[in-house]
Amino acid sequence: MSELKKRNQEALSNLSLTTDTVQREKSHYDREKKSLLAKIEDANAMADIASMQKANADKAIEKVDARLKLALSRADELIREIVDSESQKAALITKISSLVRQKEEADEIAAQNQSKFRKTQSEVKEANDRADEAEHFAYSLKNARRAAYN
């Protein structure tokens, strides 16, 4: 029996060593498991943060896209206004050119009319001078006739 006790003691000692080893390994694996779970939790938290940041970035991109569309629309409107203004400018330049030609023609006609007026005025003055001379001559003849009859 002593041998059986001895064997039992050895088996118990081996079992105790094995249990200690298993306990140590279990404790080691539990710590590793906790560490891995903490890392997974951190990774999940970082993924949540990244997801929120992506959602915020997507919202910001949508806002920028909306502003860009608005700016492009306004730019298109301004381009149309510029094209319209250029068209109106060309029409006004054509009209101004026409008016300048008309003014030049009117100035030319006015100069011709003024020249004709001066010529006519000169002719009228000469005619008045001749009429005055004729009147003076007629008066002189009248006086000479009166003097000859007296």
Predicted pLDDT of residue 126: 95
DSSP string, 51-109: HHHHHHHHHHHHHHHHHHHHHHHHHHHHHHHHHHHHHHHHHHHHHHHHHHHHHHHHHHH
pLDDT band at 2 (very low <50, low <70, confident <90, very high): confident
For residue range 27-79, list pLDDT tens digits in order: 999 999 999 999 999 999 999 999 999 999 999 999 999 999 999 999 999 99
Distance between CA atoms of 94 and 100, rounded to whole angstroms?
10
Q: What is the pTM of this model?
A: 0.47
Give the model's confidence band at 141: pLDDT under 50 very low, under 70 low, under 90 confident, else very high. confident
Q: How many CB atoms lie within 10 A of CB 85?
A: 10
Residue 5 exposed, middle or buried by CB count within 10 Å (0-12, 13-18, 19+): exposed
